[in-house]
Chains A and B, each alone.
Chain A
Amino acid sequence: MRLFFRDPLVHFLSIGVVLFAIFAIVDDSDPMETDTRIVVTDADVAWLSQSFARQWNRQPSATELDHLIEEHIREEVYFREALALGLDIDDPIIRRRLVQKMQFLSEDLAVLDELRDEEIRAYYEEHEDDYRVPPRLTFSHIYFSTDERGEQATRDAERIRMALNALPQPPLRAPDRGDRFVLEYDYVSVTPEGIGRIFGPEFGAQLSELGFSTWSGPIASGFGLHLVRIDAREEGYLPRFEDIRERMRRDIDNDRRLTMNEDFFETLRNRYTEEIAAVTAPPPQASPLHKPAANAGAGDIVGLADSHGVPANAQPGVVELFQSTNSSAPEN
């Protein structure tokens, strides 16, 4: 008996039977009947009352309910007639709406089972770089202007670096050994990314490599050369698993949802074959467009009483769908 239940073929067949039975129940399609019979069920009535109640904060009266049912029937009649006339075909809005519904459906199908701790932990190990808190550097720098010193700047910087590093005590105001600098000389607890925003990205990257408490360089920035002394470095670190578990859970779920949506689409897409006409690049543009129409009129500027002529342009692919004249819609 057990063997019987385990047999995949039995599974297959019984699923088939169940599906067939469901179909038989659900599908009561008598063509004549569906075309002409409108059934308003108890559930429909309940739904109508509920929608009314949501909007008005009270139950509909008997008259109102009758009216709602009447409206519902009216809608249904029009709806069916519209379908029969094929009004849904080639309507971009209905098309967009259906596409949207399909996407929602896909979202809804992507029911995610609760993640287990091991799964999050595995993700944590695999993606730790994404969650790492960046290091922060505290440093001073001495500026050597290449505008001022030209070729000499590198040699000057090297000479002063050696001199400073040979001193038994760090001197006061070491930056005075170099040139004036508009920004600060001392920076406290800045990330390499933040340093990059101030001095240029390459500079930020190089600072992460330097040792402590000794003058290094010269290092080039967007402004010239610099000697740099790192005084403190707060190491970057990976937050504890417990501290970012919830954040990772959201991220994983997000990833999974995207993957499932994409898989769902691929499944659907596999039912189709595609033929795409050879895509040709648009021709280089014709010259008339090129001479800016110095006398072109203000055209259809929203809200402008325009008497200066017509727009000089027939714009390809213009999305001017909802433009109006004398609109209360603002422009720019």
Chain B
Amino acid sequence: MKGLTGIWTVAVLLLAPTFLQAQQSSYSPEVDRSYPTNVYWGDTHVHTSNSPDANSRGNQSSPSLAYRFARGDVVGALNGEPARIRRPLDFLVVADHAEQLGVMASLQAGDQVLRQSEVGRRLYETYRALSDEPEARRRFDRERDLQWQEIGGAFHRSVWQRVIEMAEEFNDPGTFTTFSGYEWSSRGSEPGVFGNLHRVVIFKDGPERTRTVLPFSSVDSIDPEDLWRYFARYEEITGGEVLAIPHNGNLSNGEMFALTTLDGQPLTTEYARARSRWEPLYEVTQIKGDSETHPVLSPTDEFADFEAWNSWAGTTSDPTWHRCCQNWDPEAQPELKKAEYARSALKRGLALEETLGGNPFKFGLIGSTDSHVSLATADNDNYWGKHILALPSATRMLQSGSVLQAAAVGWEAAAAGYAAVWAEENTRESIFAAMRRKEVYASTGPRMTVRFFGGWEYSSDDVYRPDFVRIGYSGGVPMGGDLSAAPAGSAPRFMIAALKDPDGATLDRVQVIKGWRDASGELHEEIYNVAVSDDGRRVRRDGSVDPVGSTVDVADASYTNTIGDAQLMAFWQDPDFDPEERAFYYVRVLEIPTPRWTAYDAKYFGIDSDDISDEVWMVSQERGYTSPIWYTP
């Protein structure tokens, strides 16, 4: 931590009235307001019965269940219990795997279009005649895997058409927005090794455009560059818009942010341009772990050890063990993880931009759940799990296989996350545009409000003005934006404001995380505590802060808001700025500690604490990550 200069925290009160600036053209400021004042919450990544892995575990609910749940209806969950989200979401993307999209569901329903094709009819007959005998089922699976693509265009079009129609049915502009989308599920370059290169694909458009294409799947190509070519064709032919959001770099076997293309070639300028064009966002937190950073990569970051998928994606205690794919040389562990985590990727992007003239890893941050039970739940006290096996039960936290086959143990799953979007209105156009310009942030679940502006002109008390948002936009850029052309002798200035979830825990602190590339080409990161809750502590000269403490009663699965603050604001100017160095800045907002879903489970199901291993995390410090603001010399 570096020394802090120019930090004001919320402890400073400004009671003196602030006089209005000169009036704008209309007496009513609303008329001329052209910036977003609303943050909309959503999940861009929910699976239903149309995904083969969800379906084969018993999810046979159509996307309508996902939509109805997300908009706030009480629905019957897959175990028959009534389920309801704590607060409705504002938008939802049902993103089923393109590979075998809807095949199982159509076999189960005896779909007419499926049976009109020769291959489909044969599969259907085999399926109908299938016994419970495991070998027969495996044979059938192989047959289906090999043949599903041959079922024929009419069938694939009809499935995609249903996906689109369902999205249209629930899209209610102004109230609840839906997008047609799917997931492209490439497993990376190494055959037989699981290198997660999955991307959620989101179309902005309505049926008149989306109907004209079929989802491009990893059977068509496992190479993301081919996916981007498909996007380019889509936009060229239809005039529509599409983007992709990668996720789970933590499970990518070192491939998500590799320094080579899928076939091992060095990255090119074209690659950089295409990737940043089509992939403006990254899903940094979700049920299968948090991908911001890892203790191996950020050993001095006291909050780095958070929801890391250690038993599967490499432990810190035994760094040779990377269960997803192979045993790794301990020396190689950091190299592997540099290509798997977001903060490291953002740093790599700076270096690549220097050599390529384009930054392939220039992405904003969102969270989403990747739920395979149709329910977009990221709340620790209302967490419905990843797969059917992970629906609430006394045993789910202790089973392996409930999250990703027999991989990680149940308790390692995180009840995360959501996507927050700063937009003018709750419509496809407005939300998609915000995603494109990266004016979005990730939350591990709590609906905290976070503003983040960067510029050269802000004065130190601007953030305390009632119209600081207007000042933020007029004098600089919001999260996701770019700064350049540093005025001589000045360093970038930032305004940050964070407000707690109205129905959740208070805030511990706000941090700015800076990454930069120095003149010798080396990459660095630094964490600055820029605002902390009162609680009888302050930021020391060396930049450190005492922990906020904890009010969590694990046995009772409860906490109180007697520590932490409802809102934190800060003005911050980079004290270590060098105008010659490329850099990025993003904000991390930490809540006070709260009970994790495992604690709520233990209480609800009456699990004896002696029966729960000490390894199991029972307390969580939830957080938000904003999209970065980049500085380019």
Contacts and interface: CB of A to CB of B under 8 A. Distances in A.
B51 interface: yes
Given A93-B128, A303-B187, A328-B219, 11 more contacts: A147-B10, A179-B13, A180-B569, A182-B498, A182-B567, A289-B399, A294-B311, A311-B406, A321-B137, A327-B142, A330-B183
Nearest to B29: A186
B169 interface: no
A297 interface: yes
Contacts of A305: 192-193
A329 B615 contact: no
Contact of A328 (B145, B398, B407, B498): B145
Nearest to B401: A313
A308 interface: yes
A293 B410 CA distance: 11
A182 B449 contact: yes
Interface string A41-53: 0000000000000
B350 to A, nearest CB: 30
B53 A331 contact: yes
Interface in A66-109: 92-94, 97
B18 A176 contact: yes
Contacts of A94: 128
Contacts of A320: 56-57
Nearest to A56: B116
B288 interface: yes
A38 B185 CA distance: 50
Contacts of B10: 145, 147-148, 180
Nearest to A325: B138
A181 B464 CA distance: 9
B372 interface: yes
B404 interface: yes
A interface, size bucket: 35 or more
Contacts, number: 237
Given A296-B406, A322-B140, A328-B100, A145 B566 contact: yes
Interface residues of B, number: 103
A319 B104 CA distance: 14
Interface of A: 54-55, 92-94, 97, 145-148, 172-173, 175-177, 179-185, 188, 197-201, 203, 221-224, 282, 284-285, 287, 289-294, 296-305, 308, 311-313, 315, 318-332
B243 to A, nearest CB: 20
Given A173-B18, A292-B400, A330 B58 contact: no
Contact of B406 (A55, A199, A297, A330): A297
- The 4 residue pairs across chains A and B that have the minimum distance between CB atoms: A299-B406, A222-B502, A330-B185, A324-B141
Contact of B20 (A173, A181, A182, A290): A173
- Most chain B CB within 10 A, of A181, A299, A313, A330, is at A330
Contacts of A92: 132
Interface string B594-633: 0000000000001110011101100000000000000000
Contacts of B140: 322
Contacts of A97: 110, 128
A304 B193 contact: yes
Contacts of A299: 400-401, 405-407
Interface string B552-590: 000000000000011101000000000000000000000
- Most chain B CB within 10 A, of A173, A291, A304, A326, is at A304
B30 interface: yes
Interface string B58-98: 10000000000000000000000000000110000000010
